[in-house]
Amino acid sequence: MNEKEFADKSIRLSFELSKYIIEHPEFEDDIPNGAEVAILLENDNEFNNRVMELVKKSQAEGQTVALLKVKKLAPPPKSRLVEPELVTM
């Protein structure tokens, strides 16, 4: 996994976490105040190893880190358009 792939996956997971917290605001209460949240994906050792390297650096600097373990990402939702009709004018 190159840097771009790692960054893209990290950004996508961060975005998904933000959406999850918007839908489940009580979840945020369990995150320690001021903590960094590191997301680990089940069955993605290469990604998780990179994340844990960053976690160790943060902890060495005195940062509190909360690990969020995710089983998988659900497939992206399909379009919510119902029977669209294209009219050319």
How many structural domains does the chain have? 1
Give the pLDDT confidence score for residue 84 in this predicted structure: 87
Q: For residue 86, tell me if it sits in a domain.
A: no
Q: For residue 82, tell me if it sits in a domain.
A: no
The beta-carbon contacts of 71-80 under 8 Å, at least 24 apart in sequence, are 71/42, 72/41, 72/42, 72/43, 73/12, 73/13, 73/16
Give the pLDDT confidence score for residue 75 in this predicted structure: 87
Give the pLDDT confidence score for residue 77 in this predicted structure: 81
Q: pLDDT tens across 11-34, in order?
A: 999 999 999 999 999 999 999 999
Q: For residue 53, tell me if it sits in a domain.
A: yes
Domain that holds residue 46: 3-70
Q: pLDDT tens across 28-86, in order?
A: 999 999 999 999 999 999 999 999 999 999 999 999 999 999 999 888 888 878 888 99
Q: For residue 81, tell me if it sits in a domain.
A: no
Q: For residue 26, tell me if it sits in a domain.
A: yes
Category of 32 on φ-ψ map: left (φ > 0), alpha (ψ -120 to 50) or beta: beta
Q: For residue 15, tell me if it sits in a domain.
A: yes
